[in-house]
Amino acid sequence: MLEDLHRIFLGDQDLGFAWEIFFRTVIIYFYTLALMRWLGGRTVAQLSIVEFLLVIAIGSAVGDSLFYPDVPLLPAMFAIFLVAAFNKLVDEAILSSDLLSRLFEGRPRIVVTEGRVHRDRLRRQGIGMGELYAKLREKGVADLADIKFAILEADGTLSVLKRDRDGAAGLYQPPVLPPGEMAWADEA
């Protein structure tokens, strides 16, 4: 019974391996933290698809190096660095090319125009009416008629430009979207 518990909790390792895990964790944690600071950070809610992939890839490489005794630290650190460097290259490519930006990060979609919901666009984005209504409530919208445009951003957030009841132009600026997207807003 005692041997089974040892195998379940420690595997083939003895308690001394705990110090190695501690040492590995300290090194990998601060190394990864330095790399993440170099990459720049956003909150999880603002992660693009590329950044989300980065989190998964680094998490896997970091996790393996922390507690597998047969994973040496230097190759693990090199793999983590390569993932971070590839991400930096993809970020630079996205910043320099509109095509790559749309390919990797997507583009905003107008989902409500002048109070009219574009259900076909919602469906293409995998969003139901219930989720749209929830996002609108979060933005303080009580009536669809108050919306000039609601735009589903590339990161999944919803931007709402409200209609001014007094007829004044106010701070409204047309959304910066590809020309074809604005043509869609005019369609019924």
Average pLDDT of the segment spanning 152-163? 85
- 44 and 88 share a domain? yes
- 91 and 176 share a domain? no
pLDDT at residue 89 is higher than 80: yes
Please check whether residue 151 is in contact with residue 159, taking contact to mean a CB–CB distance below 8 angstroms.
yes
What residue numbers bound the domain in which 118 lies? 107-186
pLDDT at residue 1 is higher than 90: no
> How many whole angstroms separate alpha carbon 45 and alpha carbon 171?
26
Cα dihedral 7→13→14→17 (10° resolution): -140
- 39 and 70 share a domain? yes
Domain boundary among 51, 78, 103: 103
Provide the pLDDT confidence category of residue 169 given band limits of 50, 70 and 90. Answer: very low
Domain boundary among 103, 126, 155: 103
Provide the pLDDT confidence category of residue 55 given band limits of 50, 70 and 90. Answer: confident
Can you give the pLDDT at residue 43?
Answer: 47
- H or E element: which one contains 109? strand 109-113
Over residues 94-110, the pLDDT tens digits come to: 889 988 887 777 788 89
Percent of the chain with pLDDT over 90: 12
